[in-house]
Structure 1
Amino acid sequence: MEDRKLTVRAVDRALDILLCFTRNSDLGLTEISSQIGLHKSTVHRLLTTLEEKGFLIRNAATEKYRLGIRIWELSMHLPAFDESAALLLPAMERLRDRLGETVSLYLRDGIERVRIQAVQSQQAIRRVAQIGARLPLSVGASSKVLAAYAPPEVLAELLEGPGWPSSIEREVYRTQLKEIIRQGYATSFEEREPGAAAVAVPVTGRSGNVVAALSLSGPVSRLSQETLVEYAAVLGEAASEMGMMIP
């Protein structure tokens, strides 16, 4: 019985920590400890667990926490989609209607990306994007955008990890990331799926940090390199609009 009480108390405290982020997007250990009335050592242990499970993300530079990608993943199963993601739909739908291809939004989770929102093309031949799908950061336009703006330690884990594809030269990949930062977009041709092409741009939140990747994808028969470069500018405009809605 005692173990059960302790477990419930720990869950209650962890939820109290998550609820702190209904009022602020970034909080430090001292702030959280003060808000929920617990000692810093106790809060730190809970924060570590929540970070390991993906419910919180810690900024190594500021030592502050913010909500993690697991919150987005849970929201995918709500009857009504998460309000934050719903706010982005109009801009994505306008982009789809203007360019005629599937539009997706991705967040980075460690060395993977997760599709948190998608608007499907209405053309007969189209690329169908499943919300909630997890994909590696090694291939694809959105992957390379998220990797290009990832912290150095994340990039090192990606490149040196056992899951790195032997078919991709690491130095070539590093060069691609530098070029993406310089030009502001990434393209891909059949890197992950035969017959599919994509272009992606970074989405910068109000904090000034790159928080997501916005992509447009479709069949290579409609998306040439020249077309993707042309569409990159249009995506950039949409990403600027969407970034104002993201903390």
Structure 2
Amino acid sequence: MCVTDQEKGTVRAVERALDILLCFSGTEMELGLSEIAKRVGLHKSTVHRLLASLETKGFIRRHPQTDKYRLGWSVLELVSNVYQSDDLASIVVPEMTHLRDEVGETISLYIRIGKERIRTQAVESNQPVRRVANIGQRLPLYVGASGKVLLAWSDPQLVQEVIQDPAWPRDLSKKEFKAALVKTRENGYAISIEEREPGAAAVAVPIFGRDKQIVAALSVSGPVDRFTPEAVERFIPAARNTAQLISKMLTR
């Protein structure tokens, strides 16, 4: 079968668009047109046309003040689908279910996308009063145990970008938050008590991938009145054991 010049051109355009998206696989949150063109080795006019197409489909967003580009919400939708796939679910959900049965609270799995975290899997508690976990929910990294875990093992540049974000709450001390990240890494877990919503508490631990980089945060969450010091002492080792097991399964 003969491939026409038009078809070849379409394939090249797709490859170039994918190359542009891959420019954002590092720690940089935003890139300018010139920087993207340099990285992919294309003229700025060509890159501008491709960026316009990606922006139309929601894969790229342009900051109106700086004219810099960042990944769009369509990427989140794709990633959410990947992490809810049958393959991953077959690995993590059974272990999350075992953990839920052991501690009696809701278990959630979070990944980081940019400066947000997204819940990709959840196994809710069987208790009448429980933490309701919505799959696909996006939350900031600066609030909650899982956010601290995802940041504590991330690049320092990302931590700085999160702290300098205009959305940073005025009543949240940046100095205390940095100290909390250090403590999280030293302890190997994070705890949050009514940080995101009244009456809720959580314990979170990291899950690592093949390259020893953090890939997700595993959390135990529920009503704050059930998160007594004695209960938390049970939750932490149980969550750690499950996270370590999932890490091993993901790196086989």
Q: Note whether the superposition's TM-score is higher than 0.5.
A: yes
Quote how far apart the aligned CAs of 1:116 are: 0.7
- The answer as to whether partners of 1:205 and 1:245 remain within 8 angstroms in 2 is no
Q: Give the alignment partner of residue 160 of structure 1, picking from 161, 164, 175.
A: 164
Instruction: State how 1:76-225 maps to structure 2 within 5 Å.
Output: 81-225=85-229
Question: Which residue type is aligned with residue 106 of structure 1?
Answer: Y
For 1:115 and 1:179, how far apart are their aligned partners in 2? 24
For 2:16 and 2:162, how far apart are their aligned partners in 1? 33
Q: 1:41 maps to which residue?
A: 41
- The answer as to whether partners of 1:69 and 1:107 remain within 8 angstroms in 2 is no
For 2:153 and 2:76, how far apart are their aligned partners in 1? 17
Q: 1:73 maps to which residue?
A: 80
- The answer as to whether partners of 1:118 and 1:129 remain within 8 angstroms in 2 is yes
Quote how far apart the aligned CAs of 1:186 are: 0.4
Question: Which residue type is aligned with residue 108 of structure 1?
Answer: R
Query: Tell me, which stretches of 5 or more residues in structure 2 are unaligned?
Result: 22-39, 61-69
For 1:148 and 1:130, how far apart are their aligned partners in 2? 24
Q: 1:229 to 1:110 in 2, by over 3 A?
A: farther
Say which one has the larger Rg: 2
Quote how far apart the aligned CAs of 1:3 are: 9.7
Supply the RMSD in Å over aligned alpha carbons. Answer: 3.2
Q: 1:151 to 1:91 in 2, by over 3 A?
A: same
Question: Which residue type is aligned with residue 90 of structure 1?
Answer: P
Query: Tell me, which stretches of 5 or more residues in structure 1 are unaligned?
Result: 19-39, 56-67
C-alpha deviations, 1:166-203, integer Å up to 9, x for none?
A: 11100000011100111110001111011101000011
Q: 2:71 maps to which residue?
A: 53
Q: 2:67 maps to which residue?
A: none
- The answer as to whether partners of 2:189 and 2:205 remain within 8 angstroms in 1 is yes
Q: 1:201 to 1:54 in 2, by over 3 A?
A: farther
Structure 1 segments of 4 or more deviating over 4 A? Answer: 2-9, 12-18, 49-52
Q: 2:14 maps to which residue?
A: 11
- SS state of the match for residue 218, structure 1? strand
Q: 1:54 to 1:151 in 2, by over 3 A?
A: farther
For 1:212 and 1:120, how far apart are their aligned partners in 2? 18
Q: 1:201 to 1:160 in 2, by over 3 A?
A: same
Aligned residues: 207
Alignment TM-score, normalising by the size of structure 1: 0.73
Identity of aligned residues (%): 45
